[in-house]
Amino acid sequence: MGPFAKHTSVMPSKKDSPRFRPAHLLALPLLAFAGLAWSAPSRAATHFDDEAREIEALAEQMMARARIPGMAMAIVADGEVVSLRGYGVVDSKLQEPVTPDTSFRVASLSKAFAGTLSAMLVREGAMDWDSPIVNQLPTFTLRDGQAAQQITVRQVLSHQVGLAYNTYDRDLEANEPYPLLAAKLAEAPLTCSPGECYAYQNIAFSLVGDMVFATTGDFYAAQVEKRIFQPLGMYGATFGRSGLEASPSWARPHVRSGGTWVPVRPKETYYRIPPAAGVNASARDMAQWLIGQMGHRPDVLPDELLEEIRTPQVETPGEIRGSGWRRDRLREAHYALGWRIYDYAGHTLVYHAGAVQGYRAITGFVPDRDIGVVILWNSESAMPSALFPSTIDRALGLPAHDWMAPPARRRR
């Protein structure tokens, strides 16, 4: 339970800033977000089998080239798993192989679970996207008390609370407890009014966990396990360091030391904010998550809920100026409710990446092609990320790029 969890009466909701109101964003050209119409897939899973084998071969080449400890990857198409593989080892000292059931930290991929759980509670009437969170968290405040009265769940989940980027992340990394950091938000400088700008958060984002406790009387992690993990068949998914280390097979984090990858114990710090970065899962678990998020488990995740959490809320142009495939492929970028929404060469891409010490993770899918991929690895190498655009390019029939090569050497 966080420092603000408490039931109170409901106050009238405030209007969102017109500048970033979802209805305004949905008026953007249809090309950029065509996938949000949920058109029928243009190719069946069997049509992607050959491409999946090519990606598996590319993954093996990448492992040899990058010399990283371990990785797991899943590809899903048309509601089916077409590739599920482990590569390398869970620990460079033990040589135990990574399997599809090896658990990894998924870091900020956790944020989509927070958006999904929130949508479930909104559909039940337990929460409201646009009512101020102070209705349930009456002690919450910001340096601007009036601004604090306007913060909504929608703004928390789309990083529009008005704080500077990654407020108090360094304090969390220095082992300051989340409840104290959440209370310290009252002292943090604001860069804009709520709803007027985007700045990625972990501490403020995790206020949604306090909201879940206030509205359900249950801990955030327990609600995710009961409402998402178990119904979707994510039987190996857990929360926290103890959950990871209790897994039958789990990938140790690795850091560079003396020119080699050295295993270390997982850090506890970001586990203290479960909505932002608390989930552990295997490639098999994440394949089921993708199948659900791609609309093939309406018994758990109805289409209306999925559309809600993928609706663009705020522009994030900095994502387009990133390196490699982002610069070459992305035309527009937005944040929704726990998901990033990109225009990838004219197709909607629903995406998120995550990083904590010794782990990296990427997942995303193209709704109008019904193709998705998740990649998890236990080192801080950037090279496995090249497998993601390689998969998406094949799904879209785009010209092949060697995304693992330095920019000047990429083949077009």
Average pLDDT over residues 312-322: 93
Q: How far apart (Å, rounded) are the C-alpha atoms in residues 153 and 13?
A: 11
CA 32 to centroid of chain Cα atoms? 21
Helices (H), 358-400: 387-396
Residue 95 has pLDDT above 70, yes or no: yes
Classify residue 153 by burial, with Cβ atoms within 10 Å: 0-12, 13-18, 19+.
Answer: buried
pLDDT digits (tens, 9 = 90+) for 28-70: 332 233 333 233 333 444 568 889 999 999 999 999 999 999 9
Q: What are phi and psi of 280, to 5 degrees?
A: -115, 140
Q: How far apart (Å, rounded) are the C-alpha atoms in residues 375 and 70?
A: 11
3-state percent breakdown (helix, strand, coil) of the chain, nearest 5? 40, 20, 40
Concatenate the DSSP letters of all residues of 43-109 into one string.
S-GGGGHHHHHHHHHHHHHHHHHHT-SEEEEEEEETTEEEEEEEEEBS-TTT-PBP-TT-BEE-GGG
What ranges do the domains of the chain cover? Answer: 18-109+219-396
Residue 325 has pLDDT above 60, yes or no: yes
Residue 402 has pLDDT above 50, yes or no: yes
Q: How far apart (Å, rounded) are the C-alpha atoms in residues 394 and 52?
A: 9
How far lies 39's CA from each of 59, 335, 336, in Å? 30, 21, 19
- Please give the structure tokens belonging to residue 402: 């060697």
Residue 134 has pLDDT above 80, yes or no: yes
Average pLDDT over residues 288-314: 98
For the domain made up of 18-109+219-396, give the CATH fold: Beta-lactamase (3.40.710)
